Structure 1
Amino acid sequence: MMGAKWIKVSVFYLLIVFAFGLFMHYTVQLQWKATHAHIGVVGWLTTGFIGLIYSTYKEAAETGLAKAQFWLYNIGLPFLLVGMMMVYLDVPRWLFELFVSGGGIAVALSVLLFFVNVVKYVR
């Protein structure tokens, strides 16, 4: 079940990365390329790969670690991505730092939980 949730979220990021790429192309606003890459790699690919791992290793997928990881990642990642877009917007520095640091730390902690979960439960 947890694997399917991750895969569904990843497909949402796939839609976002294609829509964002089309936006960049048709408006010729290529300064967003780092954000676009992060949506694709961290949103679509990494999220989907975590879903595949949890679909394969169901014991790991049903732990409290997996559930905490899911929420940390999926709350943190949108903040990180919006923060990355703020680089090119006129926002106060503290707001930019709040989004990038807060989202980035949440995603990093999520990956740490994933590491512990995989080491502990994937056999």
Structure 2
Amino acid sequence: MGIRLIKISVVYFMIGVLFGLYMSMTHDYSFTPVHAHINLLGWTALTLAGIIYHLFPAVSQTKLAKAHFWLHNIGLPLMMIGLFYLISSGNEGIIPVIAAGGVLTTLAVLLFGYNVLTKLKAE
């Protein structure tokens, strides 16, 4: 689980950096929220979770860890694609998609926190 999260976090990192490069080259910074969320919730948060899961296998071998992985990696793309669409089109009809992605991502983070707080033990 730890390695899987670290690898997918690198994909988010590359996407976030490409967004940053695009904004820098075009001087259009309207996608800054997408760039920031992909880098924070995708690259940083998932890298740290992956390291924790790798260092503490007992935490990574739970149903909570699997739920965290899937909810985070369904919720974050939903939220970011929706936010990208909202910024680029102005169509507020996409807001429920953004909200659904945000709820799934938040739930994933809460499951991760609960998992670490209850399963991580000093050896």
Would the aligned equivalents of 2:85 and 2:91 in 1 still touch at CA under 8 Å? no
What TM-score do the two structures reach when normalised by structure 1?
A: 0.92
Q: Is the contact between residue 71 and residue 108 of structure 2 (CA under 8 Å) also seen in structure 1?
A: yes
Whether the aligned pair in 1 keeps the contact of 2:86 and 2:95 (CA below 8 Å) is no
RMSD (CA atoms): 1.2
Q: 2:9 — aligned with what?
A: 10
Q: Identify the residue that residue 55 of structure 1 maps to in structure 2.
A: 54
Query: TM-score normalised to the size of structure 2?
Result: 0.92
Q: Give the whole-Å Cα distance in 2 for the aligned partners of 1:92 and 1:28.
A: 23
Unaligned runs of 5+ residues in structure 2 are none
Counterpart residue number, 1:116: 114
**1:47-94 CA distance string (max 9 Å, x none):** 100001101110010101100110000011001111221232225423
In 2: Cα distance, 1:30 partner to 1:90 partner: 15
Cα shift at 1:4: 0.3
- Aligned pair count? 121
- For 1:92 and 1:41, the matched residues in 2 are separated by 25
Structure 1 residue 89 and structure 2 residue 88: aligned? yes
Counterpart residue type for residue 109 of structure 1? L
Q: Which residue of 2 aligns with 1:101?
A: 99
Listed as ranges, the gaps of 5+ residues in structure 1 are none
